[in-house]
Amino acid sequence: MTIPGQASMDSAVHPESVLLITLDSCRYDTFCSARVPALRQVGPLVRALAPSHFTYGSHAAMFMGFLPAVNRPWPLLNSKHTKLFRLGRTGWRGKPNEPFQLEGPSIVEGFRRRGYGCVGSGAVGWFDPATETGARLTHDFDHFFYAGAPWHLQRQLAWLEAHLQGRGPLFVFLNVGETHVPYWHQGAPWDRNDNPCIPFQRQRRRRDCADRQRRCLEFVDRQLVPLLQRFAGATTVLTADHGDCWGEHGLWEHGISHRRTLEVPLLMRLRGEPVKPAG
């Protein structure tokens, strides 16, 4: 399965490369219900809890090495047990068996100091480098592309393909926006301006939310095939930064503390091997 114009992405990257993908706002139950064969090949799906309930807070934590984590003592899947990205001098020296031990103000800068090429792309407004908050999230990358709207995954992938060159290891970050409100993707048969998930709404549109986010995720799955194949022998983290509420306790969207805004999918592959729950 390939995307027109992206056939060259099937060449493997350096085995020490790292790919971090965040499916913005994607609920765990959406991932469970979706037909996403490419995404599921990354590793076993586990239910994790995000470090925050909104985009900036969660990504700021992830760029410090705090990925979404499970509550069970499973290596790499529970960062209190073993961290995938250990940022040094942050209060604890870590463990000798942690795969990526880094130094610097963020894991992005940490990878740069180890000679990695660091490229990233964000879909939602928090990643706009023209804003002070966006600049804070993006300034450690060698190259960063802000897509300008949540529904430009194909443009993001084309940009990444142009920057994934060279023989050395890479740290690649991709924030996917199609799963963010208003839950729309290029070619979708519903109106992009019809947002079924608005804070404080009184309409019961849970079914629209669930159906549209699932269909957006299935669209994303098809688009990501070449990129995931390119990193099949390297390290991949596939997760979400947070979820959304769809009327639970009268709540809608994110930016609020609730089980549904914190519950996210998490799948990992370490140097070509799926990370499996222990025991």
How many Å apart are CA 240 and CA 55, to the nearest integer?
9
pLDDT band at 3 (very low <50, low <70, confident <90, very high): very low
The pLDDT score that the predictor gives to residue 109 is 97
pLDDT one-digit tens code per residue, 198-246: 999 999 999 999 999 999 999 999 999 999 999 999 999 999 999 999 9
Query: What average pLDDT does the chain have?
Result: 93
CATH code of the domain in which 23 resides: 3.40.720.10
Q: Judge whether residue 53 has pLDDT over 60.
A: yes
Q: Stretch 51-61: mean pLDDT, rounded?
A: 97
pLDDT band at 2 (very low <50, low <70, confident <90, very high): very low
pTM of structure: 0.94
pLDDT one-digit tens code per residue, 157-178: 999 999 997 779 999 999 999 9
Q: Judge whether residue 48 has pLDDT over 70.
A: yes
Q: ∠ CA(207), CA(209), CA(214), 5° rounding?
A: 100
**Three-state DSSP state, 250:** helix
List the domain range (segments joined by +) for residue 110. Answer: 10-274
Burial pattern 90-120, b for ≥16 Cβ within 10 A else e, equals eeeebeeebbbbbebebbbbbbbebebbbbb
Asked if residue 113 belongs to a domain, the reply is yes
How many Å apart are CA 175 and CA 204, to the nearest integer?
29
How many Å apart are CA 88 and CA 94, to the nearest integer?
8
The pLDDT score that the predictor gives to residue 6 is 40
Q: Where are the alpha helices (DSSP H) in the chain?
A: 28-33, 37-40, 55-62, 107-113, 132-138, 153-163, 206-223, 225-230, 259-262
Of 263, 111, 266, 123, the residue nearest 182 (C-alpha): 123
Asked if residue 2 belongs to a domain, the reply is no
Asked if residue 133 belongs to a domain, the reply is yes
Asked if residue 279 belongs to a domain, the reply is no
Does a cis peptide bond (omega within 30 degrees of 0) precede residue 182?
yes
Max CA pair span of the chain: 54
Q: What is the tally of structural domains in the chain? A: 1
- Give strand pairing partners of 170: 117
pLDDT one-digit tens code per residue, 103-140: 999 999 999 999 999 999 999 999 999 999 999 999 99
Asked if residue 5 belongs to a domain, the reply is no
The pLDDT score that the predictor gives to residue 90 is 53
Q: Judge whether residue 7 has pLDDT over 50.
A: no
How many Å apart are CA 193 and CA 191, to the nearest integer?
5
pLDDT one-digit tens code per residue, 138-147: 999 999 999 9
The pLDDT score that the predictor gives to residue 1 is 37
How many Å apart are CA 219 and CA 238, to the nearest integer?
16
The pLDDT score that the predictor gives to residue 279 is 65
